Structure 1
């Protein structure tokens, strides 16, 4: 297959979701893989000049993504851009989804004005998750704004809210904030399907639900709150964020460099 898609350069913007937190891979830059890397791997097949940069940094709020990543992304001259943000604002800052949408709209306007294809993401449905289910309404409102923004700017939207597979616990990291390798794999397949790009990612059967699942065990909810939620909130209150972190792939380059595993047509699994 020659030139299976029209894009030559992908730049990904965002926070931990796009950085790939929850999908560890020692041989990948930054020690993480994630859905964006998995998408880039597939886009590079039969496309030897394809280049990929990932500017996402965990913990970033939407305004930080806009201030720190949009201009550098534009300077890289991508023809395909993914941008995701606002989750940290909604979850940890109780932000107004209407105001967030105004900021997001401006960012998408700047990115789409270059002629690049811009890909957006709705937030997943956290309705069954303790604590985060309380902000389900705000996420739904923000998602509606994102759908409208996509229409205004002729962008593509990947609808994670509609992805029912993400309701399975095996799609999530134990911290319940990030996706597992299986979750990142599933999202990567949805991105490629939305872009109408042929790929080798096959649907994976969810792992068996443990006898004591995080959905039903109150004791595990308490452990999770103590080990994950409380430390995160304390870091925020003490202003101990990830300000000193840098993007894992700041410059566009081949998806598989000298330190990367050799690519085959069956790669992309978890």
Structure 2
């Protein structure tokens, strides 16, 4: 991983050390087999966030889709993500459509909205994630998920950082169980950037979306030998 940039460095999509052009990103996925890309989950799966100066205002899933279509122009894409939804509700309201789409690449949620409850049940969160991952894994598709960034904080919930850490541990554990590719953003150097998050301090701004998309691409490239 590259060294962290100083917090006063002004970056653009062209100078950001963690970004690649669409052309260069496609080059690392030459030969990728995926032709049906599905994204399910919550607002993080939808990729909502504020604009960032110097970066395209494009959600991370659409960025990944653009790269995959450079490799396979006939790639089909489905995103059923809904703002504010829990893992259990994702399974209840989105899984059927996802399965009908017959994806060979699926991005799954990581339980962000499950930890907003006054007293989260981590056993329930793990059970809900496992149920959704089991449905997705049964398709035979390649699965991806990302952990929540360390900067994701809610000031009104004093133990929120601990909640994020705990749900990330659950995500990693369930992902291993079902063979999902984990894009681990918890300790990524972008957490040092003051402009990582949108004004709500929850969703990645466009600069973060750009970096996340390339981290997903890199993770897929690293897994290619296992799925060809």
Length-normalised TM-score, structure 1: 0.65
Tell me how far 1:89 sits from its aligned partner. 2.0
Matched residue, 2:81: 56
Tell me how far 1:43 sits from its aligned partner. 0.9
List per-residue Cα deviations over 1:65-93 (Å, max 9, x = no partner). Answer: 11111111011000000011421221355
Asked if structure 2 preserves the Cα contact closer than 8 Å seen for 1:61 and 1:85, the reply is no
What stretches of structure 2 of length at least 5 have no aligned partner? 1-26, 52-56, 223-228
- What is the aligned-residue RMSD (CA, Å)? 2.3
**SS of structure 1 residue aligned to 2:44:** helix
Matched residue, 1:124: 149
Matched residue, 1:161: 186
User: Which structure has the larger Rg?
Assistant: 1
**SS of structure 1 residue aligned to 2:39:** strand
Asked if structure 1 preserves the Cα contact closer than 8 Å seen for 2:145 and 2:183, the reply is yes
List per-residue Cα deviations over 1:107-157 (Å, max 9, x = no partner). Answer: 101111111011122121137764456222222122112111111111111
Going from structure 1 to structure 2, the CA distance change for 1:67 and 1:128 (only over 3 Å counts) comes to: closer
Q: Does 1:196 align with 2:217?
A: no
- Aligned equivalents of 1:60, 1:189: Cα separation in 2: 25
Q: Does 1:75 align with 2:100?
A: yes
Matched residue, 2:114: 89
**SS of structure 2 residue aligned to 1:105:** helix
Asked if structure 1 preserves the Cα contact closer than 8 Å seen for 2:115 and 2:163, the reply is yes
Asked if structure 2 preserves the Cα contact closer than 8 Å seen for 1:121 and 1:160, the reply is yes
Asked if structure 1 preserves the Cα contact closer than 8 Å seen for 2:32 and 2:71, the reply is no
Matched residue, 1:18: 45
What stretches of structure 1 of length at least 5 have no aligned partner? 25-31, 198-270
Going from structure 1 to structure 2, the CA distance change for 1:84 and 1:127 (only over 3 Å counts) comes to: closer
Aligned length: 191
Length-normalised TM-score, structure 2: 0.76
Going from structure 1 to structure 2, the CA distance change for 1:12 and 1:93 (only over 3 Å counts) comes to: farther
Asked if structure 2 preserves the Cα contact closer than 8 Å seen for 1:39 and 1:191, the reply is yes
> What are the residue-to-residue correspondences of 1:221-232 with 2, within 5 Å?
none
- Aligned equivalents of 2:153, 2:115: Cα separation in 1: 17
Going from structure 1 to structure 2, the CA distance change for 1:128 and 1:168 (only over 3 Å counts) comes to: farther
